[in-house]
Amino acid sequence: MQKAYFNWSSGKDSTLALYKVLQEKEYSVEQLVTAVNNDFNRVSMHGLRASLLEEQVKSIGLPLYEIELSGDISMQTYDSRMRLETEKLLKQGFKYAIFGDIFLEDLRLYREEKLLEVGINAVFPLWKQDTKALLLEFLSLGFKAITVCVNAKFLDESFVGREVNEQFLADLPENVDPCGENGEYHTFVYDGPIFKYPILFEIGEKVKRGYEPSKDGNDCYKKKPTWDFSFWYCDLLPIDTEKFKI
Summarised one tens digit per residue, pLDDT across range 138-155 is: 999 999 999 999 999 999
What predicted TM-score, i.e. pTM, was given to this entire model?
0.91
Cα angle 201, 180, 79 (rounded to 5 degrees) comes to: 90
- 80 Cβ contact partners less than 8 Å away, ≥ 6 residues apart: none
- Average confidence (pLDDT) over 121-130: 98
- End-to-end alpha carbon distance in the chain: 28
Task: Count other C-beta atoms under 10 Å from residue 103's C-beta.
Answer: 17
- Average confidence (pLDDT) over 177-201: 97
Please, which contacts does 66-73 make with residues 24 or more away whose CB atoms are closer than 8 Å?
66/34, 66/35, 66/36, 67/33, 67/34, 67/35, 67/36, 68/36, 68/38, 69/35, 69/36, 69/37, 69/38, 69/44, 70/37, 70/38, 70/39, 71/37, 71/39, 71/40, 72/39
- pLDDT of 223 strictly over 50: no
Count of helix runs (H) and strand runs (E) in the chain: 7, 10
In DSSP terms, 2 is beta-bridged to 27
Which of 55-69, 162-176, 198-212 has the lowest average pLDDT?
A: 198-212
Distance CA 194, CA 184 (A): 25
pLDDT, tens only, 4-44: 999 999 999 999 999 999 999 899 999 999 999 998 899 98
Task: Count other C-beta atoms under 10 Å from residue 137's C-beta.
Answer: 16
pLDDT-derived band of residue 246, with 50, 70 and 90 as boundaries?
low
Which of 80-94, 108-122, 181-195, 211-225 has the lowest average pLDDT?
A: 211-225
pLDDT-derived band of residue 232, with 50, 70 and 90 as boundaries?
very high
In DSSP terms, 145 is beta-bridged to 189
pLDDT, tens only, 78-96: 999 999 999 999 999 999 9
- pLDDT of 217 strictly over 60: no
- Quote the percentage of the chain above a pLDDT of 90: 83
- pLDDT of 219 strictly over 60: no
